[in-house]
Amino acid sequence: MTTEQEKYVIEVEGLKTQFGDFVVHENLDLKVRQSEIIGVVGGSGTGKSVLMRAIIGLKKPSAGSVHIFGEDYYQADEQTRVGIEQRWGVLFQGGALFSSMTVAQNVMAPIREHMDMGTLLAQDIAALKISMSGLPEEAGAKYPSELSGGMKKRAGLARALALDPEIVFLDEPTAGLDPIGAAKFDELIVNLKESLGLTVFMVTHDLDTLHSTCDRVAVLAEKRVIACGPLDEVRRNDHPWIQEYFSGPRGRAALAS
């Protein structure tokens, strides 16, 4: 029986994902605790984003189970799945904003889809989420094409926060950002986690992000999670890829910063 400190909001067991005959994951296990930031790392082709997509219902696994908030997501009925989905938010790579909508309209999209709410209230909520993401008020009237890369990331985060989620999934959130912009985004994620009690599932390759944000790190290799724990603990694992990744020049630089 799990203690309150070990309450899991995501439990992946025996997961197998594949594309045709190509198997990405085999017998993969991973548990995510409530109100933690977990970073998922691995080499190219290890299926970091595929794992995230399997958890959020965009890639049905060939075997195994995904429990979210104690519910078996893939065995649940449609009403239960929709209820689960309303309790998470997703920031895809690049923000994945609707180009024909303003930032405010993008943030309002999930509100209008899932909640019976008047336009003025939806606008007020969108403005609040835009502010929470660190964007200036006037950004709400801008279109994605008018935003910098960092602003697009924050706009995508504002949309991910639209329904007051308990879990936020981030796919390479600092990719393409300059070091200053990436550091500010990392700080924002930590602040949101602490102020809102969010659970954050983050796919990343950014060593600085791992050091500055993550409570635990899960390493994908050999089609499964080969290590999962606090960063200092994972770094001591003698697996060749882990040693190369964390003890190479970039890893040493991130540790020293």
pLDDT at position 123 over 90: yes
CA distances from 73 to 54, 64, 94, 131, 236 (A): 10, 11, 27, 32, 34
Q: Is the dihedral of CA 54, 38, 182, 205 positive or negative?
A: negative
Neighbours of 120 (CB within 10 A): 8
To the nearest whole number, what is the mean pLDDT of the chain? 92
- What does the pLDDT read at residue 1? 37
Quick one: average pLDDT of 23-46?
A: 97
Amino acid at 106: N
**Predicted confidence (pLDDT) per residue in 5-16, tens digit:** 468 999 999 999
CB 196 within 8 A of CB 128: no
With residues binned 3-state (H G I as helix, E B as strand, rest as coil), the percentages for the chain, rounded to 5, are: 45, 25, 30
pLDDT of residue 8: 95
32, pLDDT greater than 70: yes
